[in-house]
Amino acid sequence: MASLRERLIGPAPVIVEEHGPDSFVPAHPAFFATKRNHLQLVLQARQDFLWIWRRNDYRNRYHQMNVFGRQLVIVNHPEGVKYVMATRHENFERKSPQMRRALEYLLGDGLFISDGSTWRQRRPLVADIVHKNRVPTFGRVMEEVAGEMATRWATLPEGRELNGLVEMAALTAEIISRTVFGNDLGEANAHEVIDGFSGYQNLIDSINIGYFLGFDEGLPVWRSRKLTHSVRRVHKVIDKVVDDHLAGRGDNNSMVELLVRRQQRNPELGLDRDALRNEAATIFMAGHETTAATLTWAWYLLSNSPWAERAVHDEIARVCGDRRPSVDDVPALDYCRAVIEETLRLYPPVPILARQAKEADRIADIDVKPAAIVMVVPWLLHRSVDLWEQPNNFRPERFLGQRPVPYGYIPFAIGPRICPGLNFGLTESILCLAILAQKFRVRVVPGTKVEPRCRLTLRPRGGLPITVTPR
């Protein structure tokens, strides 16, 4: 018998996945096709934002709806993306109440969700910490940590099943800890953060009902015992990282040094311990979760596309021979880069960029009301039939040589709020992919039903069961 949820919103969509001799259409939900009312739409979005889209939503267009008296504007056109994220950035710099409320328990006023003067003061500080000039130095740590994972994988009994998502999250959490904080994280702590954040994502609502009940700022999320437990698991580890760091127990004091120098130059910043902790939590979470998701999806895609996996192996052999790929090789690893870029197109780790309008505005021919939600949706834009040939196919070659339409490809967002860790994240993904692919064939366990799930980030539901075989 159908569950109450199914009776209200219908069954979950069919997940489409198609294999050809030299083509692969990776898992995505089929279009939503039947009629629904606003209540059903909201319930469906609460379940999963990827379930709500109709065929027409995957076109370059602007679209608005009024849901329980609230205006929602969906901007799926490069021109509109430019307008919202860059030209009129100041009017659309605020994250949606849903995003602010969903993350404030975890990140306080950390950069990811701050705005106004807090954001303006802290942005240069955080951007400095992960600045692209520091990536070559960080690269050595990335090599080391990925090398350690390769050594561990080599000792695994044949056919041992791993959760690819957990493996990649442990890898990227260790990298962010050692690079930015100069501390070893260790397996046990990494797993605390990973499990804590997975629990958090599962519990947090995709919709802030308070906003639809008339509260422009939304309502705080209900801090249930389970949610509090998840937050404590993450905070405990991050607090230790920050404490060790402040006590000078890390190998490098870079984050503190940068902070102190900034504070000396601009005493009005008032960067106290809380601010440091919130920014540390932000860098830690934003800096490992997204890259972990990217690498996990990349293994899924390669595991199903032997021709692309072959091209990856050939390129690594050509560029690096038998030695371990290094950060200096990254500029020459064009195909590996294309695999990562194509992965970020198909599975952008932040699939929805939702903003709240400060003042009335006009986007294309839509009059936007103050406090309306304006959504730029990389998931839709990256699969727009007007921008991409065979948008649902995995084709890394599309990124070789030619660049996407400006403002049509935005896995790191765009405009003044663009991800400050862009170079860090790209280099890390390419390097880790190359180091592990040189030594192992990663296979998704046969029979696995892969399903993209959109919560705070876009992950495969339940992770990704894999096996790794030495090459």
Contact call for residue 413 and ligand HEM (CB under 6 A): yes
Contact call for residue 80 and ligand HEM (CB under 6 A): no
> Torsion-angle region of residue 10: left (phi > 0), alpha (psi -120 to 50) or beta?
left
Residue of the chain from 47, 294, 304, 427 that contacts ligand HEM (CB under 6 A): 294
Q: Which stretch binds ligand HEM (CB under 6 A): 46-54, 141-149, 362-370, 407-415?
A: 407-415
Q: In whole angstroms, how far apart are CA 126 and each of 123, 279, 398, 457?
A: 5, 7, 33, 21
Query: Rounded to the nearest whole angstrom, what is the least distance from the CB of residue 217 to ligand HEM in the complex?
Result: 17
The helix, strand and coil proportions of the chain, stated in percent and rounded to the nearest 5, come to 55, 15, 35
Residue of the chain from 425, 452, 463, 465 that contacts ligand HEM (CB under 6 A): 425
Nearer to ligand HEM by Cβ, of 126 and 312: the residue is 126
Query: Rounded to the nearest whole angstrom, what is the least distance from the CB of residue 448 to ligand HEM in the complex?
Result: 23
Query: Rounded to the nearest whole angstrom, what is the least distance from the CB of residue 433 to ligand HEM in the complex?
Result: 12
Query: Rounded to the nearest whole angstrom, what is the least distance from the CB of residue 465 to ligand HEM in the complex?
Result: 22
Residue with tokens 């980030």: 457
Contact call for residue 465 and ligand HEM (CB under 6 A): no
465-470, strands of its sheet edge to edge: 162-163, 465-470, 440-444
Per CB under 6 A, which of residues 129..158 are in contact with ligand HEM?
130
- How far is residue 436's CA from residue 176's CA, in Å, rounded to a whole number? 18
Q: Which stretch binds ligand HEM (CB under 6 A): 43-51, 278-286, 364-372, 438-446?
A: 278-286
Nearer to ligand HEM by Cβ, of 408 and 411: the residue is 411
**Size, binding site for ligand HEM by CB under 6 A:** 26
- How far is residue 112's CA from residue 65's CA, in Å, rounded to a whole number? 27
Q: Which stretch binds ligand HEM (CB under 6 A): 49-57, 240-248, 281-289, 305-313?
A: 281-289
Query: Rounded to the nearest whole angstrom, what is the least distance from the CB of residue 48 to ligand HEM in the complex?
Result: 18
> At CB < 8 A and 24+ separation, what contacts does 269-277 make?
269/121, 269/122, 269/125, 271/125, 273/246, 274/108, 275/109, 275/122, 276/242, 276/246, 277/108, 277/238, 277/239, 277/242
Query: Rounded to the nearest whole angstrom, what is the least distance from the CB of residue 382 to ligand HEM in the complex?
Result: 12
User: How far is C-alpha 17 from the chain's CA centre?
Assistant: 22
Question: Annotated binding residue at 432?
Answer: no
DSSP state of 469: E
Residue of the chain from 164, 420, 452, 463 that contacts ligand HEM (CB under 6 A): 420
Nearer to ligand HEM by Cβ, of 123 and 324: the residue is 123
- How far is residue 171's CA from residue 163's CA, in Å, rounded to a whole number? 12
Nearest to residue 333, comparing CAs of 314, 350, 351? 314
- The token pair that represents 157 in the structure block: 């009994």
- How far is residue 33's CA from residue 52's CA, in Å, rounded to a whole number? 9
Residue with tokens 């402040």: 246
Contact call for residue 419 and ligand HEM (CB under 6 A): yes
Per CB under 6 A, which of residues 93..132 are in contact with ligand HEM?
111-112, 123, 126, 130
- How far is residue 357's CA from residue 361's CA, in Å, rounded to a whole number? 8
Nearest to residue 339, comparing CAs of 369, 373, 304? 304
Residue of the chain from 105, 300, 424, 440 that contacts ligand HEM (CB under 6 A): 424
Dihedral Cα 230, 234, 236, 238, nearest 10 deg = -170
Q: Which stretch binds ligand HEM (CB under 6 A): 67-75, 269-277, 280-288, 398-406?
A: 280-288
Residues sharing a CB contact under 8 Å with residue 186, sequence separation 6 or more, in sequence order: none
Residues sharing a CB contact under 8 Å with residue 188, sequence separation 6 or more, in sequence order: none
Nearer to ligand HEM by Cβ, of 9 and 372: the residue is 372
Per CB under 6 A, which of residues 331..350 are in contact with ligand HEM?
344, 349-350
Nearer to ligand HEM by Cβ, of 403 and 471: the residue is 403
Residue of the chain from 170, 353, 357, 371 that contacts ligand HEM (CB under 6 A): 353
Residue of the chain from 92, 297, 394, 412 that contacts ligand HEM (CB under 6 A): 412
Annotation: binding site: 419
Residues at the site binding ligand HEM, with contacts judged by CB under 6 A: 111-112, 123, 126, 130, 282-283, 286-287, 290-291, 294, 344, 349-350, 353, 411-413, 417, 419-421, 424-425, 429
Annotation: binding site for heme: 419
